[in-house]
Chains A and B, each alone.
Chain A
């Protein structure tokens, strides 16, 4: 079973529209971390945010906001007033503790966002 599910494979929006990228995770741990990464066409994954399982406060950073809901095991990402530069593939990831390595990262399959000018 997938640990991290990003059901939206591709999304297209017109510039200035708001867009929400969904992420649903699965874990039995009480302590875990969630991440979002952005992968522009250049290929490098850029770290956007990290959230721990005990902090359900929403976070806002400029046009970006994240909604973490443990009740639905979701960690959704909203871009407000989208811009062409937001076009990229976005990955959600889960970090769980591992007895021998400290942690294990699980990535979703990514959502490709295209912002049309």
Chain B
């Protein structure tokens, strides 16, 4: 089974621009979660999508948004980029139907640098 894929792997943007990141989950998985990882804040949960609906949301400003398509692929969008948005963005895939015993499987991440 193919793992979680994320594109692009690296991205350089300037302040004020917007960016869209993509994540394809493991085949058959319907849940996609997004995390932001920075040296200072560690792994922070952004949001989770399940069956095209946002099911859970972390504590991030509205500039961070996402969506999920019918094939479970998910995109994350950050508008009006700030320097502090420079981070590794990780996507995690899970079945979405197993509750507390769900294991999340992560993609390789997208490294975003905002100049």
Contacts and interface: CB of A to CB of B under 8 A. Distances in A.
B42 A110 contact: yes
Contacts of A74: none
Given A101-B48, A103-B100, A45 B42 contact: no
Contacts of B88: 43
B54 to A, nearest CB: 10
Contact of A42 (B42, B55, B108): B108
A15 to B, nearest CB: 26
Contacts, number: 63
A95 B100 contact: yes
Contact of B101 (A44, A95, A109): A95
Nearest to B98: A102
Given A43-B111, A107-B42, A97 B99 contact: yes
Interface string A32-66: 11010100001111110010100000000000000
B2 to A, nearest CB: 14
Contacts of A37: 106
Contact of B103 (A31, A35, A44, A108): A35
A33 B42 contact: no
Contacts of B108: 42-44
A91 interface: yes
Interface in B48-87: 48, 50, 55-56
Interface string B28-60: 000001000000001101001010000110000
Contacts of A102: 96-100, 102
B109 A103 contact: no
A104 B92 CA distance: 13
B106 A52 contact: no
Given A44-B107, A44-B109, A97-B100, 20 more contacts: A33-B100, A35-B103, A37-B106, A43-B109, A44-B106, A44-B108, A46-B106, A47-B104, A47-B106, A50-B103, A95-B101, A96-B100, A97-B99, A101-B48, A103-B99, A104-B56, A105-B45, A105-B104, A107-B42, A110-B42
Interface of A: 29, 31-33, 35, 37, 42-47, 50, 52, 91, 95-98, 100-105, 107-110
